[in-house]
Amino acid sequence: MPDYGKIVDYIVRRLVNHPEKVKITSEHSGAGAVMVTITTAPDDIGRVIGKRGATINAIRLVAKAASVKPGEKVDVDLA
């Protein structure tokens, strides 16, 4: 099983201006889904979201692509 938190962390830390303030939490729910939550500095939220949500959607797509082979469901949320 891939560590989805590490995958998301790798991407997000390279996007933001304050990588030391990035916090990624990963929780497994009872339904077999993995919830990955991204927390950044307030001025970096726009960089993670991107224009019209393009960047966060690309991050979600990468996490979901990593979850295909193990057959899991991954949700990525920005807090």
Measured CA distances, 6 to 2, 16, 51, 52 (Å): 9, 16, 24, 25
**Per-residue pLDDT tens digits for 16-44:** 999 999 999 999 887 779 999 999 999 99
Provide the pLDDT for residue 36: 96
Distance CA 37, CA 14 (A): 17
Calculate mean pLDDT across residues 37-61.
Answer: 97
Name the fold adopted by 4-78: GMP Synthetase; Chain A, domain 3 (3.30.300)
Would you give the DSSP letter of residue 79? -
* pLDDT digits 0-9 by tens, 59-73: 999 999 999 998 899
Model pLDDT, residue 31: 77
Rounded to two decimals, what is the model's pTM? 0.92
